[in-house]
């Protein structure tokens, strides 16, 4: 009987140990399941938030670019003068068809008055009857009304006439601020999601004679092409980006509103999220199973696993910081990285003068049009390596976008040597690039400004270097011009330039 009691007591102890082990295993699994689920949730939330911000930023960038493109014509004395009478066929061909349409791909360019009456309309590079353009104008009447309201609010009396209130200056902006008189939205035009900009045509001085108070509006429509969307996907690292009605949002997709509309039929930008939480789950779940089976190795395995995850997160964070400041295609600094270097250089310009080189490739658009986008990418990557090797430790090279490069040469390089460096860069650009058995040939034009001689803030020195670049293009390309070559009162035209 005593032996039986001892056996029963032993069995209870074993059962208790088993129960305790089971409880420990259950608590470990439950704890890990909770941590895993929370990690997945937070990873997904962080990833979706980051993607949404990237897409919103990209959409704002696209809108800002269209506004700037249009401003080159809507803020122009010639456009303002012609708006008073009749737009000539030469103006339509040279400025609307041969420039804005070919270079920027506007599907519609329309001039209309505040009542919506169409004065001239160009559809896909071809002038059409005003009645046809008027059909498109009806889709943007609200934007015309809004732009007219902004125009009226900005008008102030001046010297018997009128003038527009200047925009607030921004010391960090690379471009001069423009009066806020434009209305912009994204909406479906001719079956394609498009950026629509409506703005009153005003002279460059923004001073308006008394007899011209009633404005003529320029309406531009820039559709999102398949190529634009693919490039956006590549830049942002997302997939299946498109524009769909809010009511047809597929399950699992995320969206960003692109227009001021709350109706289910309104269009939104949607894409398939990367869902990093799924990766976390698939990678960690086997470990949870192993931990449940091998209780003795739980702490060691968790430490190793969490160490690996932390290392991976650190690596990912470092890569993201690098990508935020560098161009994905060439590896050079991007606009954000260039802005940081420029501001740091300007802060020390009194002790360390520097040189700013704006470089633009000549005939690059012809390479893209003839051989395709991969050929253009090959040219950009090859020239980025050449430029970086040429500048070496004497400065930094950045790609602002497209075929635009900018170089900051540090104080150790004398002005005369800077001109020699610029000439060498032009030679580097002229050396053909081999691509799939073809020799791709381009050139380059360079504008140079010297700090502090030509400015001590970004909005002073950058426009001067850019104007010197356009002067180089106007004087025959494949050459260097400095800000010293600019006439003191000259206003270099920045419209109609070939890429």
Structure confidence by residue, pLDDT tens digits, 388-437: 999 999 999 999 989 999 999 998 899 889 999 999 999 999 999 999 98
Q: Which long-range contacts (CB under 8 A, 24 or more apart) does 187-192 make?
A: 187/139, 187/140, 187/259, 187/267, 188/243, 188/267, 189/107, 189/108, 189/136, 189/139, 189/221, 189/223, 190/107, 190/136, 190/223, 192/107, 192/223, 192/224
- Tell whether 25 is covered by a domain: no
Top pLDDT among 107 and 348 is at 348
- Tell whether 446 is covered by a domain: yes
pLDDT of 139 > 50? The answer is: yes
Predicted pLDDT of residue 440: 94
**Number of domains, the chain:** 2
pLDDT of 381 > 60? The answer is: yes
Predicted pLDDT of residue 494: 41
Predicted pLDDT of residue 249: 63
State which of 209-223, 277-291, 468-482 shows the largest mean pLDDT. Answer: 468-482
Residue 9: band (very low, low, confident or very high) from pLDDT cuts 50, 70, 90: low
Whether the Cβ atoms of residue 386 and residue 431 lie closer than 8 Å to each other: yes
Question: Pick from 224, 244, 275: which residue ends a domain?
Answer: 224
Residue 104: band (very low, low, confident or very high) from pLDDT cuts 50, 70, 90: confident
- Tell whether 284 is covered by a domain: no
Burial bucket for residue 179 (CB in 10 Å: 0-12, 13-18, 19+): buried
- Tell whether 125 is covered by a domain: yes
pLDDT of 17 > 60? The answer is: no
- Tell whether 426 is covered by a domain: yes
Predicted pLDDT of residue 441: 95
Structure confidence by residue, pLDDT tens digits, 36-55: 676 666 666 776 777 778 88
Check whether residue 352 and residue 481 sit in a common domain: yes
Predicted pLDDT of residue 495: 36
Structure confidence by residue, pLDDT tens digits, 143-184: 999 988 998 888 888 877 888 887 676 555 555 556 788 888
Question: Pick from 182, 203, 224: which residue ends a domain?
Answer: 224
Predicted pLDDT of residue 283: 61
Instruction: Print the domain residue range for 177.
Output: 75-224
Top pLDDT among 229 and 271 is at 229
Predicted pLDDT of residue 492: 42
Check whether residue 341 and residue 469 sit in a common domain: yes
Structure confidence by residue, pLDDT tens digits, 118-129: 888 888 888 888
Structure confidence by residue, pLDDT tens digits, 200-233: 888 888 888 887 888 888 888 989 888 888 888 8
Predicted pLDDT of residue 331: 94
CATH number at residue 186: 3.30.450.20
Residue 1: band (very low, low, confident or very high) from pLDDT cuts 50, 70, 90: very low
Predicted pLDDT of residue 349: 93
Structure confidence by residue, pLDDT tens digits, 21-32: 676 666 777 777
Nearest to 267 by CA among 483, 59, 80, 479: 59
Question: Pick from 187, 203, 224: which residue ends a domain?
Answer: 224
Top pLDDT among 315 and 207 is at 207
Whether the Cβ atoms of residue 87 and residue 119 lie closer than 8 Å to each other: yes
Predicted pLDDT of residue 259: 59
Check whether residue 357 and residue 480 sit in a common domain: yes
pLDDT of 235 > 50? The answer is: yes
CATH number at residue 397: 3.30.70.270
- Tell whether 144 is covered by a domain: yes
Structure confidence by residue, pLDDT tens digits, 485-499: 987 644 444 433 333
Find the helix packing angle between 2-74 and 226-236, rounded to 10°. 130
> Which tokens belong to 241?
């980006």
Whether the Cβ atoms of residue 287 and residue 305 lie closer than 8 Å to each other: yes
| Residue whose tokens read 């689920």 | 37
- Tell whether 68 is covered by a domain: no
Predicted pLDDT of residue 246: 65
pLDDT of 77 > 80? The answer is: no
Report the predicted TM-score, pTM, of the whole model to 2 decimal places.
Answer: 0.48
Structure confidence by residue, pLDDT tens digits, 404-416: 999 999 988 998 8
- Tell whether 303 is covered by a domain: no
Nearest to 171 by CA among 343, 18, 25: 343
Check whether residue 219 and residue 339 sit in a common domain: no
pLDDT of 3 > 50? The answer is: no
- Per cent of the chain over pLDDT 70 is 75
Distance CA 24, CA 22 (A): 5
Average pLDDT, the chain: 80
């Amino acid at each position: 009987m005593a032996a039986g009691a001892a056996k029963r007591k032993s069995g209870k102890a074993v059962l208790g140990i088993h129960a305790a082990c089971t409880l420990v295993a259950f608590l470990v699994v439950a704890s890990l399941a909770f941590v895993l689920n929370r990690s997945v949730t937070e990873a997904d939330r962080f990833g979706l938030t980051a993607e949404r911000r990237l897409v919103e930023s990209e959409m704002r960038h696209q809108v800002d670019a269209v506004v700037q493109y249009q401003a080159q014509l809507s803020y122009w004395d010639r456009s303002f003068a012609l708006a008073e009478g009749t737009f000539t066929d030469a103006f339509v061909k040279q400025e609307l068809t041969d420039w804005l349409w070919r270079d920027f791909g506007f599907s519609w360019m329309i001039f209309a008055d505040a009542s919506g009456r169409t004065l001239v309309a160009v559809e896909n590079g071809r002038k059409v009857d005003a009645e046809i353009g008027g059909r498109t104008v009806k889709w943007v009447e609200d934007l015309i009304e809004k732009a007219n309201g902004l125009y009226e609010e900005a008008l102030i009396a001046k010297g018997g006439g009128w003038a527009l209130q200047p925009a607030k200056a921004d010391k960090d902006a690379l471009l001069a601020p423009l009066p806020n008189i434009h209305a912009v939205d994204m909406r479906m035009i001719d079956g394609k999601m498009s950026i629509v900009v409506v703005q009153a045509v005003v002279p460059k001085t923004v001073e308006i004679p008394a007899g011209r108070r009633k404005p003529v509006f320029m309406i531009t429509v820039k559709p999102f092409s398949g190529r634009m969307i693919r490039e956006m996907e590549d830049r942002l690292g997302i997939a299946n980006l498109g524009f769909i009605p809010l009511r047809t949002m597929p399950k699992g997709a995320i969206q960003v509103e692109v227009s001021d509309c709350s109706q289910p039929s309104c269009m939104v930008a949607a894409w398939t999220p990367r869902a990093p939480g799924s990766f976390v789950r698939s990678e960690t779940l086997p470990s949870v199973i192993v931990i449940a089976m091998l209780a003795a190795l739980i702490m060691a395995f968790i430490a190793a696993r969490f160490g690996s995850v932390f290392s991976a997160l650190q690596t990912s964070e470092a890569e993201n910081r690098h990508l935020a400041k560098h161009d994905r295609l060439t590896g050079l600094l991007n606009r954000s990285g260039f802005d940081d270097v420029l501001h740091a250089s300007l802060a020390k310009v009194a002790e360390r003068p520097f040189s700013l080189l704006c470089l633009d490739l000549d005939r690059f658009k012809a390479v893209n049009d003839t051989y395709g986008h991969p050929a253009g990418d090959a040219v950009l990557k090859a020239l980025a390596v050449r430029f970086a090797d040429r500048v070496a430790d004497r400065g930094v090279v950045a790609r602002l976008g497209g075929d635009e490069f900018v170089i900051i040469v540090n104080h150790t390089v004398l002005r005369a040597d800077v001109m020699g460096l610029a000439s060498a860069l032009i030679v580097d650009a002229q050396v053909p690039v081999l691509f799939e058995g073809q020799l791709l040939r381009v050139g380059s034009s360079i504008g140079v400004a010297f700090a502090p001689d030509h400015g001590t803030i970004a909005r002073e020195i950058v426009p001067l270097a850019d104007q010197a670049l356009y002067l180089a293009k106007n004087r025959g390309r494949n050459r260097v011009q400095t800000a010293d070559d600019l006439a003191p009162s000259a206003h270099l035209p920045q419209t109609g330039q070939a890429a």
